[in-house]
Structure 1
Amino acid sequence: MKKYSILFLSLLSFGVLKAQKFKKVPESKLQTSEVEKHIRFLAADELMGRETGHAGNNTAARYIAEEFRSYGLNDVNAGSFYQKVPFEFSYQPENASITAGDNVLKIGEDFLLMNGGGVHQKNVEKVHLPYGWVSEDGSYDDFEGIDVKGKVVVVSLGMPDSKGFREMLAVSKRKEEIAKEKGAVALIEIFSAPIPWGALVNNFGDGSISLKEEDATDFTRILVSSETAKKISKGLVDALDIEINALSKKSAMSQNVIGMVQGSDPVLSKGFVVLTAHFDHIGINEHAAEGEDYIFNGARDNAIGVAGLLSAAKSLAAKPAKRSILFIAYTGEEIGLRGSSYYAENPLIPLKQCVFNLNIDGAGYNDKTKVTGLGIARTGAEAEITKAVEAVGLSLIDDPTPELGLFDRSDNVRLAAKGIPAPSFSPGFTSFDDEIAKYYHKEADEAESLDFAYCTQFCKSYAYAARLIANKKDTPVWVSGDKYEAAAKELYKD
C-alpha cells in the first residue's frame, strides 16, 4: 500500500511541477477580455468579411500590424510589417460564345474563360484527350502520337492522380503550357468536381481574384460545366466556332503581416519557429435578400486563429524563447492559399533557417474540452504540443477526418511542401457535424456565438506550444517515410 501512495504522490508532484512551470510564462496570464477584443474587432460588420483585395481586409491587416508594433516585435521587411502581395481581379468578356452544331454556349451559363487573350476562329477542329497531361519523366503522355496543332484540346480537369478540387485547379497552368507547346489554339477543361456550377461561377466569374503573374501567357483556357461538355462531346460535333474576347484585369494589392522576436539562445536563435494564421475571410453574400444578414464575419474562420497568433506574439515578445519566432498573418487563404503561396516563393527569412511551422486554422469547434491537431504526430513536436494543451486543462486529439485531407488544404501545406515540418492547430472538433456546418462560411459565424473562455484556453495553449517547441533542444523532423521528408532533406541538406 505504501508503494502505491509513493507513486501517487510522485505523479501528483509531477503534475504540480508542470502547472507551476506554465504559471511562470506570460501566456498563462492571458486575459479573456484581450482575446475577445481581437475577435470582436476582426469579426465586426464594419470589416465586411475581410475579403482579400477589399478595404476590410486591409483594415484587418493594419490592426494586426499595430498590435505587433505595440508588443515590440521587429519588422523583417525594410521597416514595414507588411509583405505586399500583388493580386488582380478578372472580369469575363461580354457576349462571348462557343457554337457547337446547333448549340450556342453562353459565357457564365455554360463556360468560363479562366485565362488568355481570347479566340476568334470558326470551324476549329477539336481533339479529346484524357487530361492533356505529360508527366515530368515522360512516363505518362496524353499527346503521344496525336497532332493538336491549330486545334482545340478538350480534357478533364486535373491530372490522373489528382486528389481534390484545389489540386485539380493547381495543375491547370502547367496544362496550358503543355497545350501551347504542342501548338493548340485553346484548352477546354471539363469541370466534374462535386460542386455546383453556380458556386464555381460565383468564385471564378466576374470579380474573381488571383495572384498577379508577371509571366502570364495569353493562351486561352476555358472551363465548361459537365452538362455543357455533353454538347461538345466526341462524335457529336467535330469542330467549334469560338468568339471570345480577352479577360479584363484590374490590379489590386493585399499584404501578409509579418513580425519577428529574436531568440534568447546564441546558437538556437539562428533557427526560427514560424507561427501562422490567415486573417482573410470570404466577404459578403451579394445574393442575400433585402433585410437578411449578408456579411460573412468569420469569427471561427479565422479570427480565433489570429487571436491565437497575437496572443503568442505578445507572450513571446515579453519573454523570448530560445529560438527566434517569425509571426505571419496570411492574406488570401480563402481564395486558394494565395498569401502563403506567395510567401513560400518569396520568403523574408531563408526557409532553411525555419525549423517548424505551427499554423492555426479551423472551421469551428464542437468539443470545448479538446484541441484538434492536423499532422501533429507526423512533425516531431507531439510531446511539446500535448504538454501545452494539457497545461490549460484541454486534451489533444488527432485529425478525426483524415479522408478530407485537411492537412493539405490550409496554409501550412505551403511550407510543408518546402520541407518544413508544419502541422495545423485547430479548435476542438470531432467530426464535421451540424454544429460545424451551422457556422462554416455562413453569416451566422459572428463573435457573439463564441465561448470566449474556451477561445482563451485555446490561445494560451497555442502560445505555450510555440514556446515549448522553440525551447526544444532537438530540431523537430518529419517522421520517417512522410511524403514531405524528401523535401526536408533537400532543404536542410547543408
Structure 2
Amino acid sequence: MKKVLILFFLLYSGYSFAQDLAYTRKTLATLTSPDFWGRGYTKNGMAKTADFLEKEFKALGLTAVNKQQFTFPVNSFPNEMKLKINGRTLTPGKDFIVHPASTGLKGKGELIERDSLHFLAQEQKLILTFQPKLTWSVATKVEDFTEVYIQKGALKEVPKNFEIAIENEFIPQFKAANVCGLVKGTEHPDSILVVTAHYDHLGGMGKDVYFPGANDNASGVSLLLNLAKHYAKNPQSYTIAFICFAAEEAGLIGSKYFTEQPLFELSHIRFLLNLDLVGTGDTGATVVNATQYPSAFRLLNEINDENKFLSKINPRGKAANSDHYFFTEKGVPAFFLYTQGGISAYHDVDDKAVTLPLTAYENLYKLILKFNAALMKSAKMN
C-alpha cells in the first residue's frame, strides 16, 4: 500500500507540473499573439497586456493587486512602413527596420554611396545602413533624420535610388503601468521575497509587423505566473510579491519608477529575483549580481549541484541590464537570472512562442522554489 501511495504521489506531481507547462504554453501564446501586438506602443498592446496580467493575478488568488501607473515619452511607428530600393519593394521586419528614434519620411530620390555599408540622401536626411542582423529597440526621443537598417543580402545590387513612406508618432506622455500582487506571509508578512519580470516588448513597426517577444520576455512573465500560481495555493512564512514591469525596453523605466514610488517598503525585501530571457537553457544560466551577493550565489549553486537542475550557473558582476538594477542601487539584494543556449532570436520578428524550447523551464521553476525556501530559513544574504 505504501508503494502504491508513493507511486500515486509521483504520478500526481508529474501531472500537476504538466498542467503548469500547459499553462505556460497557453500564456506564451497569448502574450505573443497579434492581439497584444508586441506588448508595446501601438494598437494598445501594452495596456491590453497590463489588463490581462491584472486579471490573471486576481484569478490566481493574489491579493493587493495593483496597477501602478506612470508616463514617459516614446517614439512609435503606427502606420505606414514602406521602402523601395532600385524599384524593389523590401519587407519590413525581414528586409529592413527603421531606427527607433527616426522621424517620419515620405518621398523618393537618389542615393550617394558613403562606403559599402552606408548610403545617403542628404536632402531628405535619409541614411541607409546595411547590417548582418536586424534587431530593434525603443527610443524615448526623435532625431531630425531617418535611418533605415537593411539586412545584408536583401539586395543583390548597389542601392541607387529609393522610394520611402514611413510614419512616426512621438508620444510625450505614453501611459503605462506596473502590475503587482502579493501572497501574504503566514508568519513574517513584513519580510518579502520578490519575483519580477518585465512584460513589455518592442511593439509593432507599421500596421503589419510586430515583434512577438517570446523569450524576451513572455518567458519570464510565464514563469512568474507559474510561481504565483504555486505560492497562492501554498502560502509561505514570508510574503511573496510578484511584479510585472512595463517599459523595461525603453530604459528600465517601470522598475526605476517603482523604486522611487514603492508599493511596499523596500527595506522589507529580503531578496529579489528578476526573470528575463528564461526560455532556453541548453548551456545553463547566468546570474547578474553573483559577485555582489556571494553567499546567495553559493546557496543557489549548492541547491543546483545537489539536484542537477541546470547544467551550469555562471556568475556575473553588477550590470544595469534589466529590472533588478535600480533595486540594487537602493540597497535591495537582487539577482537577475537568464538562461543561455538554444535559439538566437532576440529583438527581432523571429522571437516566437512556437520556437521557444523551454529547455530548462521545469528545472528552473524547481530551483527557484528551493532557493526561496532556503532563503526563508537563513539570514539575509550578503
The TM-score bracket by the shorter chain reads 0.5 to 0.7
Residue by residue, what CA displacement relative to the aligned partner does 1:172-201 show, whole Å, maximum 9, x if unpaired? xxxxxxxxxxxxxxxxxxxxxxx9xx9999
The CA deviation string for residues 311-334 of structure 1, in whole angstroms up to 9 with x for no partner, is: 111111111222111110000000
Change (3 A) 1:388 1:34: farther
2:58 counterpart residue number: 69
Of 317, 325, 328, 1:413 maps to 325
Q: Which one-letter code corresponds to 1:468 in the other structure?
A: A
Q: CA deviation at 1:37?
A: 1.1
Matched, 1:349 2:264: yes
Q: Deviations over 1:278-317 (max 9, x none)?
A: 000011234x9xxxx7221000000110011111111111
- Match of 1:335, as an amino acid? A
| Matching of residue 44 in structure 1 with residue 29 in structure 2 | no
Q: TM-score, normalised by structure 1?
A: 0.53
- Counting matched residue pairs gives 298
Corresponding residue of 1:233: none
Would the aligned equivalents of 1:281 and 1:298 in 2 still touch at CA under 8 Å?
A: yes
Q: Which of 313, 316, 340 is residue 397 of structure 1 equivalent to? A: 313
Identify the match of residue 272 of structure 1 among 192, 198, 222.
Answer: 192
Residue 66 of structure 2 corresponds to which residue in structure 1? 81
Instruction: Determine the structure 1 residue equivalent to 2:173.
Output: 251
Over 3 Å counting, the alpha-carbon distance change for 1:324 and 1:51 in structure 2 is: same
Q: Is the 8 A contact 2:279 2:360 kept in 1?
A: no
Alignment partner, residue 381 of structure 2? 476
Query: Do the aligned partners of residues 250 and 204 (structure 1) sit closer, same or farther apart at CA in structure 2, a change above 3 Å counting?
Result: closer
Q: Please tell me whether the aligned partners of residues 35 and 456 of structure 1 are also in contact (alpha carbons under 8 angstroms).
A: no
Point out where structure 2 has 5 or more consecutive residues left out of the alignment: 1-8, 77-97, 104-130, 148-168
CA distance in 2, matches of 1:427, 1:298: 15
**Are positions 1:325 and 2:240 aligned together?**
yes
Quick one: distance in 1 between partners of 2:269 and 2:29? 32
**Cα distance in 2 between the residues matched to 1:74 and 1:258:** 9
Partner of 2:86: none
Cα separation, partners in 2 of 1:443 and 1:427, compared to 1, 3 Å: same
Higher strand share: 2
Aligned to 2:339: 427
Residue of structure 2 in register with 1:458 after alignment: 364
Structure 1 CA distance for aligned equivalents of residues 313 and 282 of structure 2: 12
SS in 2 for 1:273: strand
1:299 pairs with 192, 200, 214, which one? 214
* Separation in structure 2 between the aligned mates of residue 408 and residue 27 of structure 1, nearest angstrom: 37
Aligned-pair distance for 1:204? Answer: 4.5
Q: Does the 8 Å CA contact 2:37/2:203 hold for their aligned counterparts?
A: yes
Q: Give 1:34 shift.
A: 1.1
Q: Is the 8 A contact 1:53 1:252 kept in 2?
A: no
Q: TM-score, normalised by structure 2?
A: 0.67
Whether the aligned pair in 2 keeps the contact of 1:373 and 1:426 (CA below 8 Å) is: yes
Q: Specify the structure having the higher radius of gyration (Cα).
A: 1
CA contact (8 A) 2:138 2:202 kept: no
- Contact 2:42/2:204 (<8 A) preserved: no
- Corresponding residue to 1:56 among 17, 40, 45: 45
Deviations 1:59-92 (A, max 9, x none): 21122212211121111xxxx521112234469x
Q: 1:201 to 1:473 in 2, by over 3 A?
A: closer
1:378 alignment partner, SS class? coil
What is the alpha-carbon distance in structure 2 between the residues aligned to residue 201 and residue 353 of structure 1?
34
Alpha-carbon separation, structure 2, partners of 1:319 and 1:377:
32
Closer, same or farther: CA 248–301 of 1 in aligned 2, 3 Å: closer
- Name the CA shift for 1:414/1:25 in 2 (closer, same or farther; >3 Å): farther
Mapped to 2, the partners of 1:253 and 1:295 lie a distance apart of 20
- Give distance in 1, aligned partners of 2:267 and 2:15: 29
Percent of aligned pairs with the same residue? 27
Q: Give the structure 1 partner of residue 205 of structure 2.
A: 285
Asked if residue 447 in structure 1 is aligned to residue 353 in structure 2, the reply is yes
Q: 1:262 aligns with which of 184, 191, 201?
A: 184
Q: 1:314 to 1:201 in 2, by over 3 A?
A: closer
> How far off is 1:397 after superposition?
1.5
8 Å CA contact 1:271, 1:353 repeated in 2: yes
Q: In the alignment, what sits opposite 2:157?
A: none
Is contact 1:25–1:319 with CA below 8 Å preserved after alignment? no
CA RMSD of aligned residues (A): 3.9
Alpha-carbon distance in 1 for matches of 2:357, 2:18: 18
Letter in 1 for 2:69: K
Q: Which residue type is aligned with residue 32 of structure 2?
A: A
Aligned counterparts of 1:58 and 1:327: Cα–Cα separation in 2? 18
